[in-house]
Chains A and B, each alone.
Chain A
Amino acid sequence: EPEVTQTPSHQVTQMGQEVILRCVPISNHLYFYWYRQILGQKVEFLVSFYNNEISEKSEIFDDQFSVERPDGSNFTLKIRSTKLEDSAMYFCASSGPSGTADLYGYTFGSGTRLTVV
């Protein structure tokens, strides 16, 4: 079964440092997403990406965050100048052609646990 792959599985960083979280979506999917889940809280939408640009972003996704699809396979989330409150599990997800997410939902990666110290 196709998978969304995320690396690293756990990242520890010092406050103020920049981190890059990496994702390899399913190869024939067109829509890519980042979500985060602070421990004990709900999964929250950060950003969606389609046709090489951001299609929607949440209030959480401020200037500290950026996304990029540097080549045909990787999808990255960069967090500049990390804060303690950025500590969370970050999930990448992808979905197929328009409409399929309505029927089949997404495929999520196993997540990157980011710990800011």
Chain B
Amino acid sequence: RKEVEQDPGPFNVPEGATVAFNCTYSNSASQSFFWYRQDCRKEPKLLMSVYSSGNEDGRFTAQLNRASQYISLLIRDSKLSDSATYLCVVSPPRGGATNKLIFGTGTLLAVQP
């Protein structure tokens, strides 16, 4: 089983649509969870951290289900500028000083006018 697994997409949605991405992770002891956004040939940029209680930032809502080892990202009222690859990222149990990140392959979102 892959450490972090995502549907690669692409998700083609019209402007204004609501779209949801899902992600599963294999290590039940994983510590921290994030969604990153990556534009074509650019660096990953943190979109939001994901907390057990779920969290929202404007049009973006992230949820974590530790029992199912499942993370989700919901984007409401999609904008053209939301077109990007969305990376599910997990930090494994911290065995030392390192906070390394494990990336999923990403889900490509294309918002159409």
Q: Tell me the A33-68 residues at the B interface (CB within 8 Å).
A: 33, 35, 41-45, 48, 50-51, 55-56
Determine the chain B residues whose CB is within 8 A of the CB of A89 once the complex forms: 41
The residue of chain B having its C-beta at the shortest distance from the C-beta of A43 within the complex is B103
A-B contact count (CB 8 A): 70
- Tell me the bound Cα distance from A44 to B102 in angstroms: 7
- B: interface residue count bin: 20 to 34
Q: Which residues of A contact B44 (CB under 8 A)?
A: 43, 91, 108
B69 to chain A, nearest CB (A): 18
A51 to chain B: closest CB distance in Å? 8
Q: Is A11 an interface residue (CB 8 A)?
A: no
Segment of A14-22, A69-77, A95-103 engaged in the interface with chain B? A95-103
The verdict on A109 contacting chain B, using a C-beta distance below 8 Å, is yes
Residues of B within 8 A of A55 (CB): 96-98
Query: Chain A residues in contact with chain B, CB under 8 A?
Result: 31, 33, 35, 41-45, 48, 50-51, 55-56, 89, 91, 95, 98, 101-106, 108-111, 113
| A and B contact pairs by CB, cutoff 8 A, 5 listed | A98-B99, A106-B99, A108-B45, A111-B43, A113-B41
